[in-house]
Each structure stands twice: as C-alpha cells, then as structure tokens.
A and B are shown apart, each in its own frame.
Chain A
Amino acid sequence: MTMTEQLDPAALQQRVRALESQAKEAQRAIDDLKSRDALKTQFLSNISHDLRTPLAAIITHAEILREGMLGELTPKQRDSVTGIVSGGQQLLDMIDEILTYVRTASDQVNLARSEFNITELVDQVRLLNQALAARKRLTIERLNGDNLPPIYADRDKIKHVLANLIGNAIKFTPEGGRVWVSFSRRGKKEDELVVEVGDNGRGIARDHFELVFREFAQVDASPSRPHHGTGLGLAIARKLVELHSGRIWVESELGKGSRFFFTLPLDIPRDQ
C-alpha cells in the first residue's frame, strides 16, 4: 500500500467497511460455534442421564438375583450375575464421569469452599482405594503432611481430583508397584501448597504431557488398548484445580513412573 492510497478517504472508508463486515462475520461464526457447543453439552447431559436410569434398573435386577432373593444360584450362576453387576457398575462410573465433565465444561460448577484438612482427605481417598490396590499388591503411601495448615477449598471437588489421580496411578502401575502422595509448600510466603501423586508405573512420554489433560484424549486410543475409560478424568481434574486458581501438570519418564502435581492456594481469605 502506498502513501497516496493510505490518504485516500474513499479507499480508507471502503477498507473500514470491509473490516467491519469481516468482524461481523467472525462474530456470527463464533456465536454459531457457541450455540453448537451448548447443544452438544446439552445432548451429552441428556443422554448420560437417560443412560443412567435403565442401567440402574439392570444393576438392581442383577443384585436381586445375586443375593438369591429369587432362589439360590449355583456358584457358576452367581459368578455370571456378579459379572453383570460389576460391568454395569463400571459403565455407570463412566456415565457419571461424562456428566461431571459436562457440568464442569459448561461452567455449571459452583465451588462450595470450606476449611478442611487435606491430609485427612488424602487418607480417606487412600482407604477407599485400598481394596483396588491390594488386588494388584500395590502400596499407597502418604509421605508427609502431618503439620499442614487447613486449606480453604471445595472438599468434594478436591476429593474428586485426588481420587482421579490416585485411581490413575493404580491403573497404570504394574503389580507390586508403589503409589504415593506427598506435599510441599512454595511461594515467597510459602502460601502455595503443591500436592504430588506419584507412581513407579509405566510412565508417560514427554510428547504426551499436555495431551493427557485434554478431553477425550488417551495416550493409547486404539480399540485394543488395555485400559478403557472415557478419557475425561484428567480434563475434569484440570478444570476443578483451575477453578481453585491452581495449576496441574505431570512430570514423567517412560518406564520409570509418573508424578502428577497440583497446586492450591494456602492463604485463607478471612473476609469470606
């Protein structure tokens, strides 16, 4: 563009009009995408809810059979019915994960903050996972944290994050391995708490450090992959940590294990 063209008022006006119309078009495209995204979210929410009801009925019927309420079962029949219950339960957990994701993704989540002791919460989640870990002869240790001050956060949401990270660690660590949780403090006033959930499992390649937090992403997405799931767990965890103004990341080496970290502010606002 030459100087003369720049100063020509008619050309300038034309250029402004063109830009204005482009901006309008871009805005229309954004609005369209937003409404499509809202539709998708609504669809996921409805379908998850509608899948839940018949599944709950299937599980209840199977439990009635398993408990022998309709007559005693042979051991083989009982095993088979137990398979229906656990398969149904697994499916239900996945549906619940989709529902949680939909709620967090559409910002329908309000934090209900309170003061609580995070070490107690970690111990609670460890206890809940004890049976699962024992089946793989894994240990889940809490390495420190006895003297941490209380944190001010949404207890249920932080529990969800811990359950997800510890659950993943158990899932991706071979028999006889180790899973641990440890705490550290950082920042000028030591006002940031860093929670680490580590394992000595198979690890994650550096290229995938970001990918694992993306929704629907799985490092191994092939149909024959050994670990199935919705691929939403870490995306939900990230969203829940970010709602608390924290960060979440992973450090890992293939074959040696993974260490997932998330931060939470330690200062308790006194005016709330």
Chain B
Amino acid sequence: MKTRILIVEDSPLVTDAFSVLFTEAGYDVDVAATVADAVERGSEKPVDVMLLDLSLPDGDGLEIMEALRQRACLPRATLAMTGHSDAKSRRSCLEAGCADVLVKPVPISELLRQIERHLA
C-alpha cells in the first residue's frame, strides 16, 4: 500500500504544488485546509505523514494533534511547517508531538529526505 500523506495548509497555491510533488514522488496524497477538515480526514483513514501548517483559518494547527491523539489516530510522523524559525514556536511544536519543525519554504529535496527519514 502507498504511503499516505496529509497536507494541512490553507493556501491552494501551496497545496497544488505539494500535491504534484508528492504524487510524482509516489505518495498517496490528501489535502485539508482547516483544523476541522484535517481532523476529519486524519481520523477517516490512517495517515503516515502529516505536513502541518501552523496558522489555519479556524485555529492553530497544533489543535489537530490533540484532536487526533484523543481519537488515537496520530500519524506516524508529523512535520510542522512555519514561516519563521523561533525557538519558542519550535518548542511548542515538539512538545505537541511533531517529529520535526521545518521553515517554509523547504527545498523539495530536503522535504522528501525528511519524510523518508521519519518513515524509516
């Protein structure tokens, strides 16, 4: 079965680009643009990797982690993506259970490498 990746991001421009990237890289891609949508998709089918944008229109991306944890549906690895790297937001992501925090935009070779690394 293909590795399933859930992209949580509210900009369709970015999700379009990522969908092309991950489909071509051989992943099964799903997209969510809001906290509510991500929780629903994340609990429907098991997710291997979740790419998580932190600022979403209906709340903080980290709320998704908590909701999925309560439903026992946490992805195998969650990579948070933020616009800027500050130590505080990095710490709160790691505390919430993210495997890593990447600063946007992540070069695609780096992104694919990180995903492989966290799935291994």
Q: Could you list which residues of chain A lie within 8 angstroms of chain B, going by C-beta atoms?
A: 49, 52-57, 59-61, 63-64, 67, 69-70, 92, 96, 99, 112, 156
Q: Can you give 7 A-B contacts (C-beta < 8 A)?
A: A52-B104, A54-B13, A55-B105, A56-B104, A64-B21, A67-B108, A69-B21
- Interchain CB contact (< 8 A) of B11 among A53, A70, A96, A156: A53
A98 to chain B, nearest CB (A): 12
Bound form: Cα–Cα A59–B18 in Å = 11
Q: Is the CB of A60 within 8 A of B18?
A: yes
B16 at the interface (CB under 8 A from A): yes
Q: Is the CB of A61 within 8 A of B14?
A: no
Q: Is the CB of A112 within 8 A of B108?
A: no
Q: Collect the chain A residues with CB atoms within 8 Å of residue B104's CB.
A: 52, 56
Secondary structure dominating the interface of B: helix
Bitwise, B1-37 to A at CB < 8 A (1) or not (0) is 0000000000101101110110011000000000000
B87 at the interface (CB under 8 A from A): yes
Interface size on B, residues (CB 8 A): 20
Bound form: Cα–Cα A47–B108 in Å = 25
Q: Is the CB of B24 within 8 A of A52?
A: no
Secondary structure dominating the interface of A: helix
Q: Collect the chain A residues with CB atoms within 8 Å of residue B70's CB.
A: none
- Interchain CB contact (< 8 A) of A53 among B13, B25, B87: B13
Number of A-B residue pairs at CB separation under 8 A: 50
Q: Could you list which residues of chain B lie within 8 angstroms of chain A, going by C-beta atoms?
A: 11, 13-14, 16-18, 20-21, 24-25, 83-84, 86-88, 104-105, 107-109
Known: A49-B83, A57-B11, A64-B21. 6 other contacts (CB 8 A): A53-B14, A56-B104, A60-B21, A63-B107, A67-B109, A156-B87
Bound form: Cα–Cα A61–B86 in Å = 27
The 10 closest A-B pairs by CB, nearest first: A56-B105, A57-B13, A60-B17, A69-B24, A63-B108, A57-B17, A53-B11, A57-B14, A61-B17, A54-B13
Q: Collect the chain A residues with CB atoms within 8 Å of residue B13's CB.
A: 53-54, 57
Bound form: Cα–Cα A53–B14 in Å = 7
Bound form: Cα–Cα A99–B83 in Å = 10
Bound form: Cα–Cα A99–B24 in Å = 33
Q: Is the CB of A64 within 8 A of B20?
A: yes
Q: Collect the chain B residues with CB atoms within 8 Å of residue A49's CB.
A: 83
Bound form: Cα–Cα A63–B83 in Å = 19
Q: Collect the chain A residues with CB atoms within 8 Å of residue B105's CB.
A: 55-56, 59-60, 92
Q: Collect the chain A residues with CB atoms within 8 Å of residue B108's CB.
A: 60, 63-64, 67
Bound form: Cα–Cα A59–B86 in Å = 23
Bound form: Cα–Cα A73–B14 in Å = 23
Q: Collect the chain A residues with CB atoms within 8 Å of residue B25's CB.
A: 69
**Nearest chain-A residue to B104 (Cβ)?**
A56
